[in-house]
Amino acid sequence: MTAVDKSGLPGKFKAWIYQHGVLPRILWPLLVSLNEEFMVTRAREVLQHRESSDPKVSQAGIVRAREAVEQAESCLRHSMLVGPVASGRAGLGSVPTTRYDKALGKDRRRLVQE
């Protein structure tokens, strides 16, 4: 930003550089993090509705979030079948993980939301 200020360009060119160069670079991480938080919130909502003891609540349809939750659960089932894998130089079992098939309630929801 100081490079733009010291460039000697007229004000309207500086405004254009800020609007089309600097501002998108600043806003992009904020927009991406908001999208991730929104998706996690929708997934949490689906999990709470599906695991509700009231049949009317548990059978309510939230389509897009439900598809995302089903995909996340599918990935968790696949990782359960594959088993622990080595990451980097760490050996097998050096990173403790919660198994999806043995997790209940809050732990299962946490795994799906991750």
Tell me the residue range of the domain where 57 lies.
2-85+92-113
Please say if the pLDDT value at position 63 is more than 60.
Answer: no
- Give residue-wise pLDDT tens across range 20-49: 888 888 888 777 777 777 777 777 777 777
Q: Is the whole model's pTM more than 0.75, yes or no?
A: no
- Check the CA dihedral 7-9-15-21 and report its sign: negative
The backbone region for 85, taken as left when phi is positive above 0, alpha when psi lies in -120 to 50, beta otherwise, is beta
* Integer Rg of the chain from CA: 23
Please give the tally of structural domains in the chain: 1
